Structure 1
Amino acid sequence: MKNFMKIIIALLVIVALIGGFFATSYNGLVNAKEEIDGQWAIIESKLQRRYDLIPNLVETVKGSMKQEKEVFGRIADARAQMAGAKSVEEKVKASNELEGALSRLLVVMENYPQLRSNENVTRLMDELAGTENRISVERDRYNIVVKEYNKKIKSFPKNIIAGILGFDSIPYFESDKEAKEAPKVSF
């Protein structure tokens, strides 16, 4: 009877160890999967930031550049008229056009002393670069957690538990073939 009790206790210990290993493995796989889902949510957040940011910045820069373009375009046109003027009347007319264009420029400069297209373009590029860097960092982090998860579900004996419980391999975040070309932003 004593030997029978030892066998029962040994079996219970073995079942407890297997059950504990099974529960620990399951919880580890669930945590790893949740880490992947959380990291993917961060990537989606950064992609949404890009989606929201680019059109707004492009429109802001376009608006500033349009205003400058109009003023400087008028100045350039008036200068060209002045250079091409032959008669006094043509020269007066061209001079008045140039004076009017310069007045508009002064009004713009008074109202918008910091209006410089180059700064807006630089800001746009900095924002885009920052957003792309954030996305790149989060993609890398995503791939790291996917790698750890995939290693867990492919390693023995967790691969058996993962197979029984339906934990499948998750693909890495890979660049699209078209991503090898830099995106073009036009104004």
Structure 2
Amino acid sequence: MKKKLIIIIFSIFIFITGLWISNIYNQLVKLNENIKKQWGQVENVYQRRADLIPNLVNTVKGTANFEKNTLIKIIENRAKATSIHIDPNDLNQNQINKFQKTQENLNNSVNRFLLIVENYPNLKSTQNFYELQNQLEGTENRINVERNRFNDQVNNFNTYRNQFPKIIIANFFYKFKEKGYIRYQIGSQKSPIVNFSN
């Protein structure tokens, strides 16, 4: 009788523990999938910007031949930015930093170009350029929003997974390792310097 009671209590304990572990696992899956979904949105808005750049460059080429080096730099940085692909199952900080560095290089080129354009009223007044410039500015805003949302999802996941004893369960599965944040590059808050003396 005593042995039966111990087996029943042990079975109930195992069952409750199994439910508790599966609940944590399912929550980790849900949070991990939210991060992957949001990463897709981040990539989507960066791709939108990359798709707009050839149109911007072609419009400017047709209107002015004043800053070929800047246009070439934009094209080169766009090619580099679109060649980086991150596996959504491996969103560690190193991968995020590598992706972010190529995007920041492209962003700096575009910002420098837009500042140069401010000094060319004829180019600025063309309707096509004006529309593309607005699209690019809108895309930059979307990128910022999606990056912030991605970081919120990463924060939710990392906070949940790093709580004790959940971290023990999370560490058993590779896909539940801590995720990386999108961070601004050092110096990216500074405006690019436009120098016309060269």
TM-score bracket for the superposition, by shorter chain length: 0.5 to 0.7
Q: Distance in 2 between matches of 1:138 and 1:182?
A: 22
Q: Distance in 2 between matches of 1:165 and 1:58?
A: 46
Cα distance, 1:29–1:184 mapped onto 2, change above 3 Å: farther
Would you say 1:137 and 2:161 are equivalent positions? no
Q: Within 5 A, what are the aligned runs for 1:88-127? A: 117-127=125-135
Q: 2:178 maps to which residue?
A: 169
User: Alignment identity in percent?
Assistant: 41
1:4-38 per-position Cα deviation (integer Å, ceiling 9, x unaligned): 32222211111011111111111111221121111
Contiguous gaps of at least 5 residues in structure 1:
67-115
1:34-84 per-position Cα deviation (integer Å, ceiling 9, x unaligned): 211111111111111100102212322442x35xxxxxxxxxxxxxxxxxx
Query: One-letter code of the match for 1:37?
Result: K
State the superposition RMSD in angstroms. 2.5
Deviates more, 1:144-153 or 1:156-165: 156-165
Q: Distance in 1 between matches of 2:183 and 2:8?
A: 52
Query: Which of 147, 152, 163 matches 2:155?
Result: 147
Task: Judge conservation of contact 1:61–1:120 (CA < 8 Å) in 2.
Answer: no
Contiguous gaps of at least 5 residues in structure 2:
65-123
Scaled by the length of structure 2, the TM-score of the pair is: 0.61
Q: Distance in 2 between matches of 1:182 and 1:28?
A: 42
Greater fraction helix: 1
> Secondary structure of the residue that 1:179 maps to in structure 2?
coil
Q: 1:53 maps to which residue?
A: 52
Structure ID, larger Rg: 1
Scaled by the length of structure 1, the TM-score of the pair is: 0.64
Q: What's the CA shift for 1:125?
A: 2.3
Query: One-letter code of the match for 2:11?
Result: L
> Secondary structure of the residue that 2:164 maps to in structure 1?
coil
Would you say 1:42 and 2:50 are equivalent positions? no
Aligned length: 136
Deviates more, 1:31-40 or 1:133-142: 31-40
Q: Distance in 2 between matches of 1:177 and 1:155?
A: 30
Cα distance, 1:141–1:179 mapped onto 2, change above 3 Å: same
> Secondary structure of the residue that 1:155 maps to in structure 2?
coil
Q: Distance in 1 between matches of 2:180 and 2:48?
A: 24
Q: Distance in 2 between matches of 1:168 and 1:184?
A: 40
Cα distance, 1:182–1:38 mapped onto 2, change above 3 Å: farther
Q: Distance in 2 between matches of 1:122 and 1:17?
A: 63
1:136-187 per-position Cα deviation (integer Å, ceiling 9, x unaligned): 11101100000010011110110110112232111111122353244699xx
Q: Distance in 2 between matches of 1:50 and 1:184?
A: 22
